[in-house]
């Protein structure tokens, strides 16, 4: 199959043709075809994006698609046949409780689990400590939707009783945590961060919550998300960056990242459709694991994009991420895309057994003094071999595939929301917010949506081919189109802090792995964090 190369002149002519081919009257007339109506203000807001869509349609039309290319909508990744082995969790029974209580806030899951097991502290005491921090700092960070104090104290009491009886459910038993507030929990509000749903209750326990409850973890709060899982603005304000309260935390897993980094919880759960774990982890300085698409059931969670949504942990370090993921991966049979795939994490895995590469074409776009280069240097100085590779980028990703796919799916997921004018209640109404995005999405033809997914199939093939010679590919977190591409292909990613910028803000690196190979991510992530101090640096205001 041959792909037509787009020249600059041709792209310019495409843009000019789009500009000349759309009028307000066209939009009004087309609205009748889909049983919708738009005000003059709404049409003015839609116009730039509709023009962008036409340009992307025409770019896509210039790319050949052989009849044999399938549509990727039936998005169900196939794991290998590995059998799940029992993970041997180790604890440091000699660990001592820090005399300075503020230090408790930044202890790892493993350290807290060891303290619970040697009797230095109870889950009830630990839970009360984190609830106190949430009450103290939650409003400052604007990161809390609901404090689930009664649920937390009940679950902590149960964890303590189990410990006394010799019942040990694993390293999450008795550990407090928070959920992004798009996961349903019986008896709580599930607001999706949006004004129209601020009093919504869903009497269901999401799969993620049910698994953590079964593991003995303690839910202390439901954290903010950008309204309907976009950005860091929610109906109560804007979630803050713990390193600089004048800045947002990014999103959409805004509260989960902000609260974890500020020591309000040891870990939290986020979701990602197009950067919603990676971006706030990068911005706040957390370690975020975006697992393989389909590795965790999304039942009981708000849907944005059926073929894109993923759930994952936001933590202090890679080992904590492994610990949480070990109890989350799998399915309850309610999510058509979720599968059972083994996660055979070994605490002492040797990173020297990994085949590691770096995305040279993406690194070469960085300044020679960029912090990302220090990651390669540190790994090489500690005995690892890292080869260059070219990551599929703009030569394959020639138009906004994820915009078209997510637009079609999100527009469908919130169809009634738009048609009934519920979108008018949203607190933000700019061109770049969901109300306008959903309106524009309704104009994407089914043919273009399907063909965008067929181009996505090509993207999957090329990305898999580029990745398969390596266990890990290291890439700048926002290098080229990597973030969009790997969300479309479903590859797992681990985002880790690599130090502070000259402005005192966190920076990050992203490790990529092949499908369902989260063990490799954790092995290299844990090793990198063992030879660098970045995951142990915390914002001074919250220490």
The verdict on whether omega for the bond into residue 252 sits within 30 degrees of 0, i.e. cis, is yes
Within 8 A by CB and 6+ apart from 399, the residues are 56, 59, 60, 63, 455
Rounded to 5°, the CA angle 524-527-533 comes to: 125
pLDDT tens for the chain, 543 residues long, are 333 344 445 455 555 555 567 999 999 999 998 888 999 999 999 999 999 999 999 999 899 877 777 656 657 888 988 999 999 999 998 999 999 999 999 999 999 999 999 999 999 999 999 999 999 999 999 999 999 999 999 999 999 999 999 999 999 999 999 999 999 999 999 999 999 999 999 999 999 999 999 999 999 999 999 999 999 999 999 999 999 999 999 999 999 999 999 999 999 999 999 999 999 999 999 999 999 999 999 999 999 999 999 999 999 999 999 999 999 999 999 998 999 999 999 999 999 999 999 999 999 999 999 999 999 999 999 999 999 999 999 999 999 999 999 999 999 899 989 989 999 999 999 999 999 999 999 999 999 999 999 999 999 999 999 999 999 999 999 999 999 999 999 999 999 999 999 999 999 999 999 999 999 999 999 999 999 999 999 999 999
Buried-state track 391-416, b at ≥16 Cβ within 10 A, e below 16 = bbbeebbbbbbbbbbbbbbbbebbee
Distance CA 401, CA 391 (A): 17
| pLDDT on residue 19 | 57
CA terminus-to-terminus distance, the chain: 58
Distance CA 62, CA 359 (A): 28
Instruction: Report the 10 Å Cβ neighbour count for 216.
Output: 23
The pTM score is 0.93
Contact 221, 144 (CB under 8 A): yes
| pLDDT on residue 3 | 37
Distance CA 238, CA 260 (A): 17
Distance CA 257, CA 266 (A): 11
H or E segment at 179? strand 176-180
| pLDDT on residue 71 | 58
Structural domains of the chain sorted by starting position, each given as residue range(s) with its CATH number in brackets: 102-338+349-364+464-542 (3.90.1300.10)
3-state SS of the chain: helix, strand, coil percent to 5? 40, 15, 45
Within 8 A by CB and 6+ apart from 166, the residues are none
Contact 219, 267 (CB under 8 A): no
Q: With CA atoms as reference, report the closest residue to 407 among 61, 77, 52, 19.
A: 52
For the packed helices 401-413 and 434-441, what is the interaxial angle rounded to 10 degrees?
Answer: 100
Distance CA 52, CA 407 (A): 13
Q: With CA atoms as reference, report the closest residue to 518 among 482, 543, 491, 541.
A: 491
Phi-psi region of 223 (alpha: psi -120 to 50; beta: other; left: phi over 0): beta
Identify each DSSP E strand in 337-434 by its residue range: 356-359, 386-389
Identify each DSSP E strand in 368-519 by its residue range: 386-389, 472-476, 493-500, 506-513
3-state secondary structure of 450: helix
Q: With CA atoms as reference, report the closest residue to 387 among 466, 321, 446.
A: 466
Distance CA 43, CA 49 (A): 10
Identify each DSSP E strand in 77-225 by its residue range: 144-147, 176-180, 218-223
Distance CA 351, CA 217 (A): 30
Check the CA dihedral 485-488-491-497 and report its sign. Answer: positive
DSSP character for 183? B
DSSP string, 127-146: HHHHHHHHHHHHHHHT-EEE
| pLDDT on residue 80 | 87
DSSP character for 83? P
Contact 17, 10 (CB under 8 A): no
Output phi, psi for 404, to 5 deg: -70, -40
| pLDDT on residue 5 | 40
Distance CA 227, CA 182 (A): 10
Q: With CA atoms as reference, report the closest residue to 154 among 162, 146, 166.
A: 162
Distance CA 313, CA 316 (A): 10
- Measure Cα distances from 205 to 181, 198, 481, 508, 513 in Å: 12, 18, 35, 33, 31
Q: How far is CA 374 from the centre of its chain?
A: 25
For the packed helices 372-381 and 518-531, what is the interaxial angle rounded to 10 degrees?
Answer: 90
């Amino acid at each position: 199959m041959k792909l037509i190369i787009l020249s600059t002149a041709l792209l310019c002519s495409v843009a000019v043709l789009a500009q000349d081919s759309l009028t307000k009257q066209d939009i009004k007339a087309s609205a009748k075809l889909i049983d919708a109506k738009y005000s003059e203000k709404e049409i003015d807001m839609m116009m730039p994006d509709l023009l962008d869509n036409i340009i992307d349609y025409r770019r896509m039309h210039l790319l050949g698609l052989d009849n044999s290319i399938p549509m990727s909508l039936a998005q169900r990744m196939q794991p290998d046949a590995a059998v799940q082995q029992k993970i041997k969790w180790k604890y440091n029974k000699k660990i001592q409780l820090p005399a300075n209580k503020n230090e408790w806030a930044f202890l790892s899951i493993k350290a807290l689990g060891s303290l619970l097991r040697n009797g230095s502290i109870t889950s009830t005491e630990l839970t009360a400590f984190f609830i106190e921090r949430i009450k103290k700092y939650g409003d400052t960070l604007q990161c809390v939707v609901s404090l689930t104090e009664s649920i937390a104290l009940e679950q902590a009491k149960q964890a303590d009783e189990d410990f006394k009886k010799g019942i040990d459910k694993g390293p999450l038993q008795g550990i407090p945590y928070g959920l992004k507030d798009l996961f349903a929990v019986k008896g709580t509000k599930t607001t999706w961060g949006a004004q129209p749903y601020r009093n919504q209750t869903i009497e269901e326990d999401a799969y993620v919550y049910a698994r953590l409850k079964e593991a003995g973890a303690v839910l202390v709060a439901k954290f903010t998300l950008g309204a309907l899982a976009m950005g860091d603005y929610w109906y109560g304000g804007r979630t803050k960056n713990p390193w600089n309260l004048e800045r947002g935390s990014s999103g959409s897993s805004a509260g989960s990242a902000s609260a974890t980094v500020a020591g309000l919880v040891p870990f939290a759960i986020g979701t990602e459709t197009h950067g919603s774990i990676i971006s706030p982890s990068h911005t706040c300085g957390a370690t975020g694991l975006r697992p393989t698409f389909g590795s965790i059931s999304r039942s009981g969670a708000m849907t944005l994009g059926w073929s894109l949504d993923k759930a994952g942990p936001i933590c202090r370090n890679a080992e904590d991420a492994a610990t949480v993921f070990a109890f989350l991966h799998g399915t309850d049979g309610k999510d058509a895309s979720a599968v059972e795939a083994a996660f055979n994490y070994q605490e002492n895995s040797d990173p020297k057994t990994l085949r590691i590469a770096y995305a040279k074409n993406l690194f070469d776009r960085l300044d020679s003094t960029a912090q990302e280069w220090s990651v390669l240097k540190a790994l090489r100085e500690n005995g690892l071999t890292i080869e260059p590779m070219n990551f599929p980028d703009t030569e394959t990703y020639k138009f906004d595939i994820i915009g078209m796919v997510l637009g079609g799916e999100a527009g469908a997921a919130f169809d009634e929301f738009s048609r009934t004018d519920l979108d008018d209640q949203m607190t933000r109404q700019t061109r770049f917010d969901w109300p306008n995005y959903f309106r524009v999405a309704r104009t994407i033809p089914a043919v273009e949506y399907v063909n965008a997914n067929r181009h996505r199939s090509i993207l999957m093939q090329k990305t898999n081919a580029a990745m398969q010679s390596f266990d890990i590919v290291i890439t700048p977190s926002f290098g080229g189109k990597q973030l969009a591409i790997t969300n479309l292909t479903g590859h797992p990613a681990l985002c880790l802090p690599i130090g502070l910028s000259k402005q005192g803000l966190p920076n990050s690196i992203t490790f990529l792995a092949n499908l369902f190979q989260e063990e490799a991510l954790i092995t290299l992530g844990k090793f990198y964090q063992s030879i660098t101090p970045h995951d142990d640096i915390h914002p001074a205001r919250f220490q």
